[in-house]
């Protein structure tokens, strides 16, 4: 078990069947998906030099890649309720090894952005039915046409899927079934990057320990 406070890895008897293999599997995929997410952010931060007509496609691809990685990371700590007991046990171990708390990883506790992208068809149809639909994926970027920028930032027409490259935020409209209301949610991608860097750092250490042991 890895202690995130001391950085020390201590071997012990397995407390559930194949614990070592589950730990190795988790370490690899947490390392892989945190690296994938960081790669996507790097591309989002890079200056776009492609064809103007492909600009939105470029950013949309890397945004989806980022949140695909986020979803696959979160499930390693918060598995589905229907998950087998042994998977929940490994998730508990992961929470200990990565010190996965709301305080340390507030953005990696929120799967709503990943869920929004994964169920984009349903989200779009719901907004259309409620007359709250003002477009598909849209983008704010430096030196764009001022009128287009103002239209996208118009509070009377809130965008349901808006990436702002200037301040590195992503905005969605999220439907709350409990209150039957639509709420604007914004995530800071640079803050998310810091959390991913921590996951990558710890997973790389654990992977290094495990590959040396076995």
Q: Do the bridges between strand 169-176 and strand 161-164 make them parallel or antiparallel, or are there none, so unpaired?
A: antiparallel
User: What's the chain's Rg over C-alpha atoms?
Assistant: 20
- Asked if residue 60 has pLDDT above 60, the reply is yes
Q: What is the mean pLDDT of residues 55-66?
A: 97
Q: What is the mean pLDDT of residues 13-31?
A: 91
Phi, psi at 50, each rounded to 5°: -90, -165
Confidence bin at 179 (pLDDT 50/70/90): confident
Q: Do the bridges between strand 8-9 and strand 169-176 make them parallel or antiparallel, or are there none, so unpaired?
A: unpaired
Percent of the chain with pLDDT strictly greater than 90: 70
Phi, psi at 138, each rounded to 5°: -135, 165
Task: Give the CA distances from residue 4 to residues 8, 48, 156, 200, in Å, rounded to whole numbers and listed in that order.
Answer: 7, 38, 46, 13
Residue of 148, 134, 135, 165 lying closest to 62 (CA atoms): 165
- Asked if residue 213 has pLDDT above 80, the reply is no
How confident is the prediction for the chain on average, in pLDDT? 92
d(CA 111, CA 61): 19
pLDDT at residue number 127: 84
Q: What is the mean pLDDT of residues 8-28?
A: 87
Phi, psi at 11, each rounded to 5°: -85, 145
- Asked if residue 214 has pLDDT above 60, the reply is no
- Asked if residue 67 has pLDDT above 90, the reply is yes
Confidence bin at 131 (pLDDT 50/70/90): confident
Task: Give the CA distances from residue 100 to residues 69, 97, 106, in Å, rounded to whole numbers and listed in that order.
Answer: 17, 8, 9
Cβ burial, residue 7 (10 Å; 0-12/13-18/19+) = exposed
pLDDT at residue number 142: 93
Q: Do the bridges between strand 2-3 and strand 8-9 make them parallel or antiparallel, or are there none, so unpaired?
A: antiparallel
Q: Name the most confidently modeled range: 9-13, 29-33, 210-214.
A: 29-33
Note whether 27 and 214 are within 8 A (CB). Answer: no
* pTM score, whole prediction: 0.92
pLDDT at residue number 190: 98
Confidence bin at 185 (pLDDT 50/70/90): very high
Q: Name the most confidently modeled range: 113-122, 131-140, 189-198.
A: 189-198
Both tokens of 87, joined, read 């998977």
- Asked if residue 54 has pLDDT above 80, the reply is yes
Q: What is the mean pLDDT of residues 166-189?
A: 90
């Amino acid at each position: 078990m890895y202690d995130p406070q001391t950085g020390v890895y201590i071997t012990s008897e397995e407390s559930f069947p194949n614990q070592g293999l589950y730990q190795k599997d988790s370490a690899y995929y947490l390392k892989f998906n945190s690296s994938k997410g960081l790669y996507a952010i790097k591309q989002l931060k890079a200056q776009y030099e492609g064809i103007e007509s492909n600009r939105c496609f470029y950013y949309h691809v890397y945004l989806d890649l980022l949140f695909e990685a986020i979803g696959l990371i979160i499930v390693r700590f918060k598995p589905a309720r229907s998950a087998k007991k042994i998977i929940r046990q490994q998730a508990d171990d992961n929470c200990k090894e990565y010190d996965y708390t709301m305080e340390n990883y507030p953005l990696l506790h929120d799967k709503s952005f990943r869920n929004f992208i994964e169920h984009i068809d349903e989200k779009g149809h719901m907004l259309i039915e409620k007359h709250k639909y003002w477009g598909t994926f849209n983008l704010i970027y430096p030196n764009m046409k001022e009128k287009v920028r103002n239209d996208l930032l118009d509070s009377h027409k809130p965008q349901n899927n808006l990436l702002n490259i200037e301040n590195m935020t992503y905005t969605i409209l999220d439907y709350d079934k409990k209150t039957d209301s639509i709420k604007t949610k914004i995530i800071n991608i640079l803050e998310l990057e810091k959390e991913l860097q921590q996951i990558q750092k710890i997973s790389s250490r654990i992977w290094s320990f495990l590959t040396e042991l076995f």
